Structure formats: structure tokens, C-alpha cells
């Protein structure tokens, strides 16, 4: 499978921002469940609106991407590729730091990273996100 540059970057963006997405989904879910006095983000287009449903719909795409990242992480459970995923994408360590921590060459890093992104792409395609 070959990914175009934009798709590759989109997947990497979601991998790098996993924790931010988790927080935004948690906040949106809490807002939908417990309400908020700020109704400026919920607009009606001349129809009867359901603010709770609108808030829930707003975080669904992020929820799908969280599922993609979780599935990718689970696939490599207990492996060095999972460690690479944690160090590089979640802990935001640099490539040389990751290579040192895992005792791997940069070529191995890039090969494993490509495999992780391609695996995430397959899960994203299954969710119809790409």
C-alpha cells in the first residue's frame, strides 16, 4: 500500500496529537452529558435543534481517530514498535533519542515508522476516515 503525502501527514498528525484528541473528546463528552451555559457553538439553521446531539456529533470524528490509534497501538502490544510509537508519537522524543532508547539505527526507525503509519492507514480506511 502506498500513501500519498497528504494522507501520510494526516495520519501522523493524529498519532502525534493522540493525547490532545483524548482530552477534546473527554471535554466534549462531559459538555454533552453535563451541559454548558455556552450555547454559541450550537447553531440552528431554521430547524428544531438538539444541542446535546449537536455536541455529541462534534466529537465523533475524533473518537474514530482515537479508535484508529488505539487499534494500531494494540496490534503492536509488547513489541519494540509499540515502544517506538510511545516514545516518538506520544512522548514526542526526537528521532535520535528514540533510536538511542531502542538501540536501533535510523533506517530501522524509518522502516518501523512507515509500518506503523501504514497499519494506522488500514484501520483508518476501515473506519472510512481516509
Closest CA to 63 of 35, 32, 86, 38: 32
- How much is the average pLDDT of 75-85? 97
Residue 50: other Cβ atoms inside 10 A: 12
CB of 59 closer than 8 Å to CB of 33: no
pLDDT in tens, 50-68: 666 666 566 667 889 999 9
pTM of the model: 0.78
- How much is the average pLDDT of 101-126? 97
**CA 30, chain centre distance (Å):** 19
Residue extents of the structural domains in the chain: 9-37+48-126
CB of 116 closer than 8 Å to CB of 72: yes
Residue 99: other Cβ atoms inside 10 A: 19
pLDDT in tens, 19-41: 999 888 888 777 766 765 555 55
Amino acid at each position: 500500500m502506498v500513501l500519498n503525502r497528504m494522507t501520510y501527514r494526516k495520519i501522523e498528525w493524529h498519532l502525534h496529537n493522540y493525547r490532545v484528541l483524548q482530552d477534546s473528546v473527554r471535554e466534549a463528552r462531559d459538555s454533552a452529558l453535563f451541559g454548558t451555559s455556552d450555547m454559541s457553538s450550537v447553531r440552528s439553521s431554521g430547524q428544531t435543534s438538539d444541542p446535546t446531539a449537536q455536541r455529541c456529533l462534534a466529537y465523533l470524528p475524533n473518537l474514530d481517530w482515537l479508535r484508529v490509534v488505539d487499534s494500531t497501538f494494540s496490534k503492536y502490544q509488547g513489541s519494540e514498535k509499540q515502544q517506538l510509537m510511545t516514545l516518538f508519537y506520544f512522548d514526542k522524543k526526537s528521532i535520535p533519542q528514540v533510536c538511542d532508547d531502542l538501540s536501533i539505527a535510523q533506517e530501522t526507525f524509518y522502516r518501523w515508522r512507515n509500518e506503523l503509519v501504514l497499519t494506522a492507514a488500514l484501520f483508518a480506511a476501515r473506519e472510512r476516515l481516509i
